[in-house]
Structure formats: structure tokens, C-alpha cells
Amino acid sequence: MSNVRLTSMVKTSGCAAKLAPSALHQVIDSLPVMVCDNLIEGFESADDALVYRIDDEKVMVQTVDFFPPMVDDPFVFGQIAAANALSDIYAMGGVPSVAMNLMCFPACLDLEIMRQILLGGQSKAFEAGAVIAGGHTISDAEPKYGLCVTGLMKASEVWSNKTARPGDSIVLTKALGCGIINTAAKAEDAPQSSIEAAVASMTSLNARARNIGRTLDVHAATDVTGFSLCGHASEVASASKVTILIDSSKVPVLEGALELAMQGYLPSGRYANEDYLQDKVAFQPSVKLCMRDLLFDPQTSGGLLLFMSEENAKTFVKEFGAPSAIIGHVVSQSGHDIEVL
């Protein structure tokens, strides 16, 4: 297998490669809504997966996600991309059942690199208890990989992003900062310990967080990916018609991320997220710029954001352990979707 730095072949990496939310919504919001009696959740509330009714009790949840590499090891890239795609099913409260590969691959690369990417994806699907059955590949100048994932579950057990309630506590299950760390790593200027912490986070499935959440009364949920913590929290606030208060001092942070942010290692997606959210998020003057950078940082294979009673939130954090934390609470709708303290 040729010794190629995959990250040198791409302009942006991971979920930071997502189209800017302002541009995306400009198009999506102009599309006519396709009405279907069996479609319970579509893209209208920006939920993590579609929900399609199969019968009176069972629904199908389905999602798709793929992106360019944020690491050079092809096997690890495959693991991260698969964990990221599988996360959307966990964010709906479900379990992945079957998936299909999506692969864009440069003709100039050794085919063993493709094989390693696919093996990495298989390893995470196997860990999740899902099966990968086929997929689609195209030749492309930049490598990209991901999955289309389907899960089956009871309609009554679906977690939505539009059912957060005033009084809910908010739990975040993974630390933030992988977009910043990946940017510094691409410039070969990130501490090895920070890179290892980011990779460990990005390759970790959200299965355990989902499983613990299933034992509690989760009112609403989403996962934190390319649109940042503020972006995905804003989607919940808008869909639920509430305001979310975030205590920035409680937000878990990956090792070295704040220091790298202060050095200017910020992905372009951080600015696209802030631009889209400027009228939706309000910061107290005491919140430092590096923390704002972190809250707008596009995450790859980030954690779950769970909304539940304070008692259940404390139970979750006690059982799950670090890095999960209660980072805020929900109040009645005010002038902004998000207020950061």
C-alpha cells in the first residue's frame, strides 16, 4: 500500500466539509414538501434521520452521511466515517440494522487504500451489530467515504429533535474540539496527545449513550456534527419552540483544543456556522473567543445531545461517566434559540 497522506488530497475534512448551512437552507427551504402519510419525520425540522411508518407499531429510520478524510490512516478514516453515519440512528433512539457503502475514490491511489477504508467501516458496523450489504463507488479526485444506514424500531420509542421541554437539563456525551484539532493536525502542528484524543472520540460509537438513554425518559435528542454544538442545539430549540441556555464552563473540551483555537487553527466551517447562527445565538460578554470558536467548531462523529429531567440527567452522567456532562437547560422561548453563559 502506497504511503499517501489522505488529508493532503482534500481541501476540507470530515464534517467540516459540509455545505455552509446558510447555502443549504437557501435551497432546501425553497423545495416543495413531498407529502406522504407514512412519512413521520422528513427534513422539515432538520432531524437526524427520516422516520417512515411500516405498520401500526414499527417504523424505519434512515440516514446517509459521507465526507473526505480527516486522518491519514485509511482504516481509521473508515472507522470514523462509519461511526459518524451510524450516530444518526442512535440519535433517533434506534439501533442500526443494515447499511450500504458510499465511496468516492481517486484512480491514482492504490486499491489497498480503498480496501482498508472499507474494512474500517465494516469494523464499526460489526461493533454496532449492523451489516453492510453493498453500496456505490465513483471515481473522484478527492477520497470520500460514508454509509447509508437503516434501523427498525417501535414508533413510540423514536427520539425527536422537536420535543424538548422547558425545565429539561441538557447532557452532552462527547467533548468538543475535533474540528480544531484536525485542522492543526493537517498543518502538522497538533500535539500527538490531542490527535489521539480526537481520534479516540471520533471512532467511538454513540451506542452506549443511546443504550443508557433508553433506560431513562429522554424527551428530545440529536447528535453534534458539522453544524457545531450551537448549530444542532439551535435546530432543537427552533423545532421545539424553546430557548436553550448553555453554560460554557460546563462544556467538555478535548485536550489541547482551546489552545489550538487561540493559535488560529480554525476550520472554515466554524465561520460558516457562526455566520448562519449570528441572529440565533447570544453570548454573554464573559464568554472568551476561544470558547466561541469551540461552540461553532464543526464536529466529526460527535456526541449525543440529550434532553431530560434534571434527575435523569444526573443519573445518566453518573452511569456514563466522563466526558459526559450537564451543559445547560431549557427555558421558555425568548429572543434567541441559544443563550451562552
CATH number at residue 273: 3.90.650.10
Question: Of 71 and 22, which is predicted with more confidence?
Answer: 71
Element of type H or E holding 36: none
Is position 84 within any domain? yes
Do residues 16 and 146 both lie within one domain? Answer: yes
Do residues 105 and 237 both lie within one domain? Answer: no
Do residues 255 and 328 both lie within one domain? Answer: yes
pLDDT per position as a tens digit, 231-247: 999 999 999 999 999 99
| Residue among 290, 81, 54, 26 nearest 180 (CA) | 290
Is residue 256 classed as helix, strand or coil in its secondary structure? Answer: coil
Confidence (pTM): 0.94
**How are beta strands 325-332 and 169-172 bridged, if at all?**
antiparallel
Q: What's the pLDDT at 29?
A: 83
Q: 85 CB contacts (<8 Å, ≥6 apart)?
A: 63, 64, 65, 66, 99, 146, 147, 148, 149
Q: Given a cut of 90, is residue 118 above it in pLDDT?
A: yes
Do residues 145 and 264 both lie within one domain? Answer: no
**Band (1; pLDDT cuts 50, 70, 90):** low
Do residues 191 and 142 both lie within one domain? Answer: no
Do residues 132 and 181 both lie within one domain? Answer: no
Is position 150 within any domain? yes
Give whole-number Cα distances, 206 to 2, 44, 75, 95, in Å. 32, 24, 19, 10
Do residues 220 and 335 both lie within one domain? Answer: yes
Q: What is the domain extent for residue 253? A: 169-340
Do residues 201 and 223 both lie within one domain? Answer: yes
Cα separation of 22 and 41, whole Å? Answer: 22
Do residues 204 and 133 both lie within one domain? Answer: no
pLDDT per position as a tens digit, 124-156: 999 999 999 999 999 999 999 999 999 999 999
**Mean pLDDT of all residues in 269-283:** 95
Is position 30 within any domain? yes
Do residues 105 and 251 both lie within one domain? Answer: no
Dihedrals φ, ψ of 106, to 5°? -70, 135
Cα separation of 194 and 186, whole Å? Answer: 13
Q: What's the pLDDT at 33?
A: 82
For the record, the C-alpha cell of 302 comes out as 460527535
Q: What's the pLDDT at 25?
A: 79
- Provide the percentage of residues in the chain whose pLDDT is more than 90: 84
Is position 311 within any domain? yes
Is position 302 within any domain? yes
pLDDT per position as a tens digit, 19-58: 777 888 788 888 888 888 898 887 776 777 899 999 999 9
Do residues 67 and 145 both lie within one domain? Answer: yes
Q: Given a cut of 70, is residue 2 above it in pLDDT?
A: no
pLDDT per position as a tens digit, 173-200: 999 999 999 999 999 999 999 999 999 9
Report the CATH number that the domain containing residue 17 is assigned in CATH: 3.30.1330.10
Is position 162 within any domain? no
Number of domains comprising the chain: 2
Is position 320 within any domain? yes
For the record, the C-alpha cell of 93 comes out as 433512539
Task: List active site positions.
Answer: 15
Do residues 114 and 14 both lie within one domain? Answer: yes
